[in-house]
Amino acid sequence: MLTVAYVVGTPPGSPLDRRSKTWTPLPLRPYFWIPLIIVLVGAAIGLEIALYLSNKHQGWASGDTESRSTTLHYAYVVALWAWTDIEIKKIQASFRLFLSQQFLRMDSSSVQPPLPCGPGFIDGNSQSQFPAPSRCSARREGYMVATFVTWAGYAGAFILYELPAPPFIKVPYTVAAFELPTTISNGTAFVNTTAVKTSTGCQTIPVQMTQLGGGAWTNYASSNGCSITWSVSSGTDILFGADIPTCDSNQPPQFGPVVFWFFKYTPAAMASATFCYPSFSIWEVNVGVDVRTGNVTKVSEIAPFSQYSNFSSFSANVTGPPLNGRAYNGIRFNLTDPDQFVLGRQNATQLQLPAAIYQAATQSPEGYVGNFANGGFSALSDKVYGMYLALVAQQVYFLPDSEPINVEVRTFRKRVLVSDVAAHLLTTALLILAFFATIIQLFHRTDRQDLRLKHEPGTIALAVSIGAQTGVGNVLAGRQAGDDIKEALRDKKFRIDPVTMKIIMEGEHGYETAAVPPSPMLKRKSILDLLSGSGANGRHSQNLSGAAVTPTATPRSPSFPQPHTPKTGEHKYDDSFSANSQRSPSHARV
């Protein structure tokens, strides 16, 4: 009976011992790239989920997104894979040399990942509708006299300083005021309500000028059965005013037309007269009012106000007596025994309106003189007098009343929306990147499993560990210039011995047998396999390519292992390396 023990595995501390420390770049370690792949796949899935939620909920509320960078999140993915690419390139020279490439070269292919596609988010305004409780509106038409002089001053400031229109006024519409929601500060209230539409009816009328002695002039203008005559003297160069013309209809002066007249002496005497016939109409409208300021942003006419309209019962004193559908001109009033203060306010109102038109003409590009030639006073009068009539309508034609109405509040907020096309493209790019990154990592891991570098490529430590005391070192000895090194290495071939991790040059002993082992460790073989492979011997040596070589020692008992040093290039593996070798309890009987 012959008992043979054989070795399983690799002796600790030997060059093939995988438990010895091996340098692996951080991006190529499983605990780095596996979570990165998971993040890429998770990001792709999350992007599709975000697209679904964006379409379902019309995006998400957002603040000021313009002040933040929208491309920084791409840099993270690009930086991580650029790092991986750099580390693969760093070990590529040693890796290709290890795989028995023909020449020592430093070029390698890049695994730079593709950049993600365009941004998957777009920033914009979206409109959402929110229910609002009923509010009380002030829409009862009526008649009330107020301080017209204040309204004249505001109309003048409106054209001179470009002031915004007061709440619930958008010339020529004066909207019946209603109570705005107080729970929302950013939005527009839409409501069907009543509005008074005023019209100035202003038009420029030719003036007949008659020169009198001493620089005095008499001016006459007439239109639609109404006429006015005014006289000026040379006491001042610029004269203007507003008055009520004499009409054939004998209507009350507070409902009559208004004439804004202007006169100048220099450089030549010229006169202008603008006849305005104020009127109003009542409409059912849909209005949009800013809930914070009360400014009217939109007015859409629905239908003329009729007896079937809401609150039509309150309009009798406007459409019927005493107004009978006539508009107040705001220049003259029906006064009974007025005192000097009432007359003073009337005169101030009558003066402020033409004064505002004159100042606006002076500040216009045409200048004061140019407006005489092109009839510009008609447009300026329409603008100033139109605002004035709208203010009069708000105070005269409406009275407060408490009635429920329906108000729809639409708030306009910045929303972040996910673009369908961009989201699908970015998801596809992430999945493709994750797929090819996984393939690269797995194949590269398999190919480099026998490349056991002890130090980082590019360091002196690695250069010494793989090149010291070798033929390459002897060839390069004393050479420092780059051209000298290139010339010395020209047309030479190299390999790395997978056992010693040393560079072997072509022609050196062991070059032909320096190949990658077919397995990470020597395979376990029975005595019958060994005998059938050699025909006689019970011990075998194996080179790195798996071919049997002639044993260099006589068989000896496995209980007394003897050290054996392989010759250079033989890379022999003994089945009894040391006392620490694992021995199988199996035995073979012969």
State the pLDDT at residue 219: 94
Please tell me the distance from the alpha carbon of residue 360 to that of residue 40, in angstroms, as a whole number.
66
State the pLDDT at residue 76: 75
Please tell me the distance from the alpha carbon of residue 50 to that of residue 43, in angstroms, as a whole number.
10
Query: Is residue 253 classed as helix, strand or coil in its secondary structure?
Result: helix
Place of tokens 């008659």: 210
Domain boundaries, the chain: 25-90+108-132+417-452, 133-203+276-406
State the pLDDT at residue 235: 75
State the pLDDT at residue 361: 93
The closest alpha carbon to 256, from 225, 293, 288, 211, belongs to: 225
Tokens of 301: 């006419």
Query: Rounded to whole angstroms, what are the CA distances from 359 to 81, 240, 262?
Result: 70, 11, 12
Angle at 237 between CA 233 and CA 239, to 5 degrees: 70
Residue 434 CA, chain-centre distance (Å), reads 26
- Tell me the pLDDT of the chain (590 aa) as tens digits: 333 333 334 444 444 454 456 667 777 788 888 888 898 899 899 999 999 998 888 788 776 555 555 556 667 777 877 787 777 776 665 555 555 443 343 333 333 333 333 333 333 343 444 443 333 333 333 334 346 888 899 999 999 888 889 999 999 999 998 888 888 878 899 999 999 999 999 999 999 999 988 788 999 999 999 999 999 987 777 889 999 999 988 888 889 999 999 999 888 889 999 999 999 999 999 999 999 889 999 999 999 988 777 777 677 778 777 788 889 899 988 878 878 888 888 888 899 999 999 999 999 998 999 999 888 999 999 999 999 999 999 888 887 878 788 888 888 777 788 889 989 999 999 899 889 889 888 887 776 666 666 666 666 666 666 655 566 666 666 666 767 677 667 766 766 666 666 676 666 666 666 654 444 443 434 333 434 444 434 333 333 333 333 344 444 434 434 444 444 333 333 333 333 333 333 333 32
Place of tokens 């000298």: 484
Give the DSSP per-residue string, 269-293. Answer: -EEEEEEE--EEEEEEEEEEEETTT
Please tell me the distance from the alpha carbon of residue 252 to that of residue 356, in angstroms, as a whole number.
26
State the pLDDT at residue 278: 95
